[in-house]
């Protein structure tokens, strides 16, 4: 699915501010059959902490959330996997 869209993790590389990935890396990841690498240690820790952080957020703010949303831009070329959204809120 990531091959079909420009995602939030691609954006920094495309504009030249990602220290680990270039715009060429993004291009080749979209057009070539390259297997995605496993998440790094920091990403794994973040994934493990998501539930606890979101539970804390809901407790502190009293907002209700909807977990794991996939959103595609109206023009169809950008997308993001969101950890959670607050229904009815727009950013």
> pLDDT value at position 62?
95
Is residue 78 classed as helix, strand or coil in its secondary structure? strand
- Asked if pLDDT for residue 51 goes beyond 70, the answer is yes
Please give the C-alpha separations between residue 51 and each of 31, 40, 66, 83, 84, in angstroms, as whole numbers.
34, 19, 12, 9, 10
Assigned token pair, 39: 């998440």
Half-sphere CA count of 78, side-chain side, radius 13 A? 9
Q: Map tokens 């270039």 to a residue.
A: 22
* Alpha-carbon gap, residue 21 to 59, rounded angstroms: 37
Tell me the mean pLDDT in the region 39-53.
Answer: 91
- Asked if pLDDT for residue 72 goes beyond 80, the answer is no
Question: Which segment of 25-29, 56-60, 72-76 scores lowest on mean pLDDT?
Answer: 72-76
Average pLDDT value over all residues in the chain:
86
- Please report, for the chain, the start and end positions of each structural domain, with discontinuous segments joined by +: 2-85
Q: What is the pTM of this model?
A: 0.62
> pLDDT value at position 79?
77
> Quick one: CA dihedral 23, 38, 20, 91, positive or negative?
positive
> pLDDT value at position 1?
62
């Amino acid at each position: 699915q990531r091959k079909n869209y420009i995602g939030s993790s691609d954006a920094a590389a495309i504009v030249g501010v990602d220290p680990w990935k270039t715009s060429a890396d993004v291009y080749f990841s979209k057009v070539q059959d390259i297997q995605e690498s496993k998440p790094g240690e920091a990403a794994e820790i973040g994934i493990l902490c998501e539930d606890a952080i979101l539970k804390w957020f809901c407790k502190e703010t009293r907002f209700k959330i909807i977990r794991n949303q996939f959103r595609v831009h109206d023009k169809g070329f950008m997308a993001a996997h969101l950890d959670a959204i607050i229904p009815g809120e727009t950013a």
